[in-house]
Amino acid sequence: MPKLLIEGEKRLEGRLQVHGAKNSVLPILAATLLSGDCVIHNCPRLTDVDAACNILQHLGSETRREGDSILVGAADSCCCCIPDELMRRMRSSIVFLGAIVAKCGHARISLPGGCELGPRPIDLHLAALEKLGVTIEEDHGYLNCTVKDRLRGASIPLPFPSVGATENIMIAASLAEGETVIKNAAREPEISDLAAFLNACGARVRTTPDGDLHITGVKSLHPAEHSVIPDRIAAATYLSAAAVTGGDVTLDGVCTEHLAAVLPYFEEMGCRLKTAPEEIRLTAARPLRAMSMVRTMPYPGFPTDAQSPLMATACVAQGSSIFVENIFESRYKHVPELIRMGADIKVEGRVALVHGVKELHSATVHCTDLRGGAAIAVAALAAAGETELLDIGHIDRGYENFEENLRGIGAAIRRVP
């Protein structure tokens, strides 16, 4: 497996184009099962996207990439089973469940894989689908799901605004009989992007002022063309890299509105921000100042996926920063690797206290998960010496051309066997 060699203490400077959102393209690709013959633009080259295309191909839909677009053909069969090998490649593969049940009336899938970030139960997904009329039985690590005749609309109150469960319900309910109302639905930009795609295909999805999602079922969906929103987490990661190196970096192709909960923390650290609707320029302060407290929350709060890269930046800020992780229980797996590089971090349950140090040093470290791996890379950009970063397959799941992008703005980073 390849690794990254990162020589730190190089100031980042220049412009960088942000790719399409990983967390948006995956449910959209799953939803193409219900329409077929779709063209999805701004699709990043990620191993998770490859895994989603492999699942589509297994289910009978041909996929073809042309530049940053993926063309998805109509399924020529109604295969309803996703084998264990394909499901284990990414946790979000569970989002295919609602699409398969809506299309075929039955489904058999293995329990999903992906990053181990503590309990991420799919119980919310299954309970919601049962309300739509799906009968679910567990069979030696597989889920057998069946529905008589047609899915039926229902009122589904979510105990937590789960993004994945909201997406599964939206996709399945698009072809259900009657209206489905999701109360306490997730409000992330990726949810709005999925709704825009479904509506382009003829679905009837709308959001009420109180945040509830209403989906009025239709008999069928038709092909559509859609462009995926920019990846706000990739943007936050590159901003963290710019800040930690004392850099001056401009991000193009972003949606600044989606980063409203993140940008104030860079300003708190002393960075200067110049923003436009699709562009952000960050000029870092020297030295950075610590942040008072970062609490991860469902959108529009601070995103859990941006917590790790921002923590890497806090490692070299003057003073102490407090992080409170409210989404995933095991989101601090990257902390021991940062400590190997000289960071001063204390973790107690969901709280991490980061005391800034004058300098990080190089080490041989491992990616622990997707965002944790990106955070370690951010720290390595500021560390003295050359860091050896292993298990970088995690990074490839969510960042397109990661080292090329960083190298293009001045980083000394290379991939080697």
Residue 120 is labelled as binding a ligand: yes
pLDDT given for residue 121 in this prediction: 65
CA separation for the pair 42, 142 (Å, rounded):
33
Q: Which has the higher per-residue pLDDT, 131 or 118?
A: 131
Instruction: Check whether 273 is labelled as a binding-site residue.
Output: no
Q: Is the peptide bond before 300 cis (omega within 30 degrees of 0)?
A: yes
Residue environment code for 208-232, b if the CB has 16+ CB neighbours within 10 A, otherwise e: eeeeebbbebbeebebbebbbbbbb
401 is in an annotated binding site: no
Is the per-residue pLDDT at 113 higher than 70? no
The single residue listed with the structure tokens 């030295």 is 287
- d(CA 171, CA 134) in angstroms, rounded, equals 14
Tell the residue number behind the tokens 């690797």, with chain if given. 337
pLDDT of residue 274: 98
pLDDT at 101: 95
Q: Is 77 exposed, middle or buried (0-12, 13-18, 19+ CB in 10 A)?
A: exposed
Edge-to-edge strand ranges of the sheet holding 69-72: 63-66, 69-72, 38-41, 225-227
CA–CA distance, 361 with 379 (Å, rounded to integer): 9
Residues 6+ apart with CB under 8 A from 76: 60, 61, 62
Tens digits of per-residue pLDDT, 300-340? Answer: 999 999 999 999 999 999 999 999 999 988 899 999 999 99
3-state helix, strand, coil in the chain (%, to 5): 35, 30, 40
Q: What is the pLDDT of residues 254-263, one digit of tens each?
A: 999 999 999 9
Q: Is 91 annotated as a binding residue?
A: yes
Tell me the pLDDT band of 112, cut-offs 50, 70 and 90: low
Please report the DSSP string for 113-131 in residue order: -S---S---SHHHHHHHHH
- Write out pLDDT tens, residues 181-193: 999 999 999 999 9
152 known member of a binding site:
no
143 is in an annotated binding site: no
For the entire predicted model, the pTM comes to 0.96
pLDDT-derived band at 79, boundaries 50, 70, 90: confident
Q: Is the pLDDT of residue 143 over 90?
A: no
CA distance 137 to 145: 7
Helix, strand, or coil (residue 106): strand
Tell me which DSSP letter residue 299 carries: T
The tens digit of pLDDT for each residue in 8-37 reads 999 999 999 999 999 999 999 999 999 989
Q: Give the integer Cα–Cα distance in Å for 121 and 269.
A: 35
The secondary structure element, H or E, covering residue 341 is: none
Domains of the chain with CATH codes: 3-19+230-416 (3.65.10.10), 22-227 (3.65.10.10)
User: 110 pLDDT band (50/70/90 cuts)?
Assistant: confident
* pLDDT at residue 115 tops 60: no
Q: Does the annotation flag 119 for ligand binding?
A: no
Answer yes or no: 115 catalytic: yes
Mean pLDDT computed over 79-92: 80
Report the residue count for the chain.
417
Give the pLDDT confidence of 281-306 residue by residue, as tens digits: 999 988 999 999 999 999 999 999 99
Q: What is the DSSP track for 370-382?
A: HHHHHHHHHHHHH
Q: Output the CA–CA distances (angstroms, integers) from residue 358 to 5, 70, 287, 291, 304, in the order listed.
A: 22, 46, 9, 16, 26
43, 115, 255, 315: which is the annotated catalytic residue?
115
* CB 12, CB 397: distance < 8 Å: no
Q: Please state which of the ranges 72-76, 230-234, 404-408 shows the lowest mean pLDDT.
A: 72-76
- 76 labelled ligand-binding: no
More confident position, 87 or 231: 231
Residue 119 scores a pLDDT above 50: no
Q: Which is more confidently placed, 89 or 297?
A: 297
CA torsion angle for 233, 395, 185, 93 (degrees, to 10)?
A: 150
Q: What is the pLDDT of residue 122?
A: 85
Using left for φ > 0, alpha for ψ between -120 and 50, and beta otherwise, residue 37 falls in left
184 is in an annotated binding site: no
Where is 154: in which H helix or E strand? none
Q: Is 121 annotated as a binding residue?
A: yes
pLDDT at 116 over 60: no
Q: Please, which pLDDT band fits residue 91 given cuts at 50, 70 and 90?
A: low
2 half-sphere exposure, CB direction, 13 A CA radius: 12
Q: Which tokens hold the place of 67?
A: 């530049």
Question: Which has the closest alpha carbon to 221: 285, 160, 149, 172?
Answer: 172
- Residue 330 pLDDT: 81
Q: What is the mean pLDDT of the chain?
A: 94
